[in-house]
Amino acid sequence: MEPQRGPAGPRPRRTSPLAGRLIPGSPYSVVVLQEGYSAELPDGSTRADGTVTLVLGPQLTVVDTGGPWGRARLLAGLAAQGVSAGEVRHVVCTHGHSDHVGNLNLFPRADLIVGTDLSRPDGRYLPTGLRRGLPHPLHAGHVEVLPTPGHAGNDDVSVMVRGTSLGHVLVAGDLFEREDDEGQWQPLSQDPVRQQASRAYALDIADVIVPGHGAPFRVFREGTGHPGQEGGPG
């Protein structure tokens, strides 16, 4: 991937594929249960499913649930990690497309964040600062939801996990289709200008990015320390 320009000016960076689907850490590890994919078919249709990620730790969190056609695969992936759907505390869907929200009903005991909406298991909706560009903590200092608008308009979010063995991991939904997706994400974006700003912000704060339809990848910045940046891209 070519160096990109962030909101504060040019920051040379490069990316590389991440080997494996487990990123260990304390108190949170990140496991990619399902690597998303997207393929155009000869008749002009597209076959796709979204990445499904488990954040293992004190506040068990699933990020995106894939499409309903992958229900059995999702449950099997959780079971392989020793987790049942009823134990999951938070489910975050980065946006409302069907390949990301298709299995929400597997988690009736979880708090649900779909885009910028937060609901509790009893059907109560609670206010957050996400629509105002503010992060929403799931476990303060360790896991938080960040507003990263663009792909589906104003309501896209990502999940930041801090303290892993590789640094800050951003589970980004379709903010990134995959590594090296330049020229591919723009036709799918409802607001390419805002998405470009969100992408630059993500590349400035993340050491690993988990995209919506591809394998995780690492981000290396030249001449910068650990960014530790808060808030959103504006």
Q: Is the peptide bond before 27 cis (omega within 30 degrees of 0)?
A: yes
Instruction: Supply the pLDDT for residue 232.
Output: 56
Neighbours of 126 (CB within 10 A): 11
Task: Report the alpha-carbon distance of residue 103 to residue 21 in Å, rounded.
Answer: 21
Q: In Å, how far are 5, 11, 104, 120, 227 from 98, measured between CA atoms?
A: 32, 35, 10, 21, 33
Q: 82 — phi, psi (to 5°)? A: 75, 25
Query: At 5, which amino acid appears?
Result: R
Q: Which CATH architecture has domain 4-214?
A: 4-Layer Sandwich (3.60)
Residue ranges for the chain with pLDDT beneath 70: 1-12, 223-234
Instruction: Supply the pLDDT for residue 50.
Output: 98
Contact 134, 97 (CB under 8 A): no
Tens of pLDDT, residue by residue over 181-229, are 999 999 999 999 999 999 999 999 999 999 999 999 999 987 644 443 4
Q: Among candidates 104, 220, 90, which has minimal Cα distance to 143?
A: 90
Tokens of 45: 């249709």
pTM: 0.91
Residue ranges of domains in the chain: 4-214
Q: Which residue has tokens 């938080």?
A: 144
Q: Which residues contact 150 (CB under 8 A, 6 or more apart)?
A: 156, 175, 189, 190, 191, 192, 193, 194, 195, 196, 197, 198, 199
